[in-house]
């Protein structure tokens, strides 16, 4: 009789739940509790393993080309038989524009220029909550646009997005200021009078380095005869504009803490409008007390973060608890890269990244007779998870094996005896819960030894009788006279 396995139906409820310039995150309804799916992306295939007990299947496809329409085919698998396949397409977000510069400004306008992204023509400016669609000229490498109707002497933060098929890039921020109205102040000096205008604000302040207890701020000097005042964490740092680029390291900060700062320029007692922004110190994930099982990671984080993910190859898990990182449904013994991010005002801060290996799968071994009882043979069934070896404790000694087979042989035992065993699986520095059991060795070694003793005794008796019959004189010589 022949049996045929029917192909499962195609997944339903497919939708795109996230995308950036190098990845697309998909989600669909699980098909009849099936756990195995295959996703064909352009010319490559990705195996997707659903999480048992969850209705939805979520996976992120990485290493995609930005600003590109990608073709997908999704199959449900049942005993290696696939569904007919669900075909669809999705686009990755384009890259952000680069080399943004101010090429002109007045009291009411700012002219910006940037490098065209992959020959894309559509861009969106956001300034003061107002969106401006910009179409780049075809055949040119750069895009130039003038934002008008601005107020004089004002700092503007521009959000610039690249657009591809109605999908925006993550956006890049750029800060620029309009020229000041000429505000006149009269100064009396011994030689007479002179006039001075309010100094311009610095164009931007960049955070070039961040650690758990320090940050480095860098900005360009507007004029070398001006002074600059940085205020952060209740302290004031003053600089002379003698160099083209100024920097300041601020130390003794708290991990995972947001610090607002301001930089203002000064000239003859007049101060510009302060450039205001903020930064965040990083978090040391290695110091977190991670609690792991063979399917979960959990840890309480002291410090700011808004997003937490754990990634193992193509599988990405997202934590949903505030202040606590918690990932469940993980693969036993696998190593996950835990990544914490803090996002505010469309600015993303990498707070920390740390590799965490969870507990390997449990083992339930048993003993079999081996080597006439002078060795033990420990075997176990196939383990569902990742493991790098086993460790056996017996008679106060520890035996480790990196053998990836489903058994281990340990010599140095006695036949017909029972030994207390404890076995764990290993994955890196992690070990499973110990499995304790009794192991009895083969009794045939004792039987063989007894048989050999009897045979030896019979040989000696036979030899003595032979000597008595053939050489009785030897017996008389041996007796005392």
Q: How many CB atoms lie within 10 A of CB 316?
A: 20
For the chain, give every residue range classified as CATH 2.60.40.10.
12-91, 98-177, 185-280, 285-357, 366-442
Backbone angles phi, psi at 180, to 5 degrees: -80, 150
CATH architecture of 98-177: Sandwich (2.60)
CATH architecture of 366-442: Sandwich (2.60)
Contacts of 201 (CB under 8 A, 6+ apart): 155, 177, 264, 265, 272, 273, 274, 275
b (16+ CB within 10 A) / e for 244-274: eebebebeebebbbebebebbbebeeeebbb
Q: Is 134 left (phi over 0), alpha (psi -120 to 50) or beta?
A: beta
Contacts of 481 (CB under 8 A, 6+ apart): none
What are the pLDDT digits (tens) for 425-434? 999 889 999 9
Backbone angles phi, psi at 368, to 5 degrees: -130, 150
What are the pLDDT digits (tens) for 405-417? 889 999 988 998 9
Q: Are 41 and 60 in contact (CB under 8 A)?
A: no
What are the pLDDT digits (tens) for 300-331? 999 999 999 999 988 899 986 678 899 999 99
The span from the CA of 262 to the CA of 25, in Å, is 38
Highest-confidence segment of 132-136, 256-260, 346-350, 457-461: 256-260
- CATH class (in words) of the domain with range 185-280: mainly beta
Residue 157 confidence (pLDDT):
86
Q: How many residues does the chain have?
A: 481
What are the pLDDT digits (tens) for 52-89? 888 999 999 998 999 999 999 999 998 889 899 999 99
The span from the CA of 161 to the CA of 150, in Å, is 20
**Is residue 194 pLDDT above 50, yes or no?**
no
**Is residue 193 pLDDT above 50, yes or no?**
no
0.75 exceeded by pTM: no
Q: Are 336 and 297 in contact (CB under 8 A)?
A: yes
**Is residue 348 pLDDT above 50, yes or no?**
yes
- Which of 181, 272, 280 has its CA nearest to residue 221? 272
The span from the CA of 214 to the CA of 279, in Å, is 10
**Is residue 189 pLDDT above 60, yes or no?**
no
- Which of 295, 261, 255 has its CA nearest to residue 278? 261
**Which tokens go with 230?**
């940085």
Residue 125 confidence (pLDDT):
86
**Is residue 399 pLDDT above 70, yes or no?**
yes
Residue 431 confidence (pLDDT):
93
Q: Does domain 285-357 have CATH number 2.60.40.10?
A: yes
Average of per-residue pLDDT across 211-222 = 94
Q: Does domain 12-91 have CATH number 3.30.70.1140?
A: no
């Amino acid at each position: 009789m022949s049996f045929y396995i029917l192909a499962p139906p195609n997944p339903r409820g497919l939708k795109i739940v996230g995308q950036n310039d190098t990845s697309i995150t998909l989600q669909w309804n699980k098909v009849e509790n099936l756990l195995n799916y295959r996703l064909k992306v352009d010319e490559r295939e990705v195996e997707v393993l659903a999480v048992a007990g969850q209705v939805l299947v979520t996976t992120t496809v990485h290493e995609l080309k930005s600003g590109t329409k990608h073709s997908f085919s999704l199959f449900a698998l049942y005993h290696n038989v696939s569904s007919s396949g669900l075909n669809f397409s999705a686009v990755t977000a384009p890259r952000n524009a680069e080399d943004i510069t101010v090429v002109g400004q007045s009291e009411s306008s700012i002219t910006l220029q940037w490098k065209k992204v992959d020959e894309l023509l559509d861009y969106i400016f956001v300034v003061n909550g107002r969106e401006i669609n910009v179409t780049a000229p075809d055949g040119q490498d750069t895009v130039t646009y003038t934002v008008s109707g601005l107020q004089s002497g004002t700092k503007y933060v521009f959000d610039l997005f690249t657009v591809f098929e109605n999908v925006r890039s993550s956006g890049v921020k750029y800060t620029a200021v309009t020229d000041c109205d000429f505000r006149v102040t009269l100064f009396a000096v011994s030689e007479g009078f002179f006039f001075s205008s309010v100094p311009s604000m610095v164009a931007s302040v960049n955070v070039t380095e961040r650690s758990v207890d320090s940050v480095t701020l860098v900005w360009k000097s507007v004029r070398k005869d001006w002074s600059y005042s940085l205020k952060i964490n209740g302290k004031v740092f003053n600089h002379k504009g003698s160099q083209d680029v100024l920097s300041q390291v601020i130390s003794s900060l708290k991990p995972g803490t947001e610090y607002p700062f301001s930089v203002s320029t000064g000239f003859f007692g007049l101060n510009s409008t302060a450039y205001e922004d903020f930064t965040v110190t990083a978090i040391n994930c290695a110091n977190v007390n991670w609690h792991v099982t063979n399917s979960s990671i959990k840890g309480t984080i002291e410090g700011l973060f808004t997003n937490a993910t754990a990634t193992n190859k193509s599988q990405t898990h997202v934590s949903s608890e505030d202040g606590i990182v918690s990932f469940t449904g993980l693969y036993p013994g696998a190593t996950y890269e835990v990544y914490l991010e803090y996002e505010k005002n469309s600015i993303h801060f990498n707070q920390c990244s740390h590799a965490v290996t969870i507990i390997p799968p449990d083992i339930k071994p048993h003993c079999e007779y081996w080597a006439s009882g002078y060795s033990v043979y420990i075997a176990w069934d196939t383990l569902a998870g990742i493991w790098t070896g086993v460790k056996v404790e017996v008679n106060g000694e520890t035996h480790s094996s990196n053998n990836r087979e489903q058994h281990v042989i340990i010599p140095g035992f006695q036949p017909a005896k029972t030994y207390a065993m404890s076995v764990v699986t290993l994955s890196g520095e992690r070990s499973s819960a110990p499995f304790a059991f009794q192991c009895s060795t083969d009794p045939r070694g004792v039987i063989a030894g007894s048989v050999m003793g009897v045979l030896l005794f019979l040989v000696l008796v036979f030899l003595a009788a032979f000597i008595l019959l053939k050489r009785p004189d030897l017996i008389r010589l041996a007796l005392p006279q």
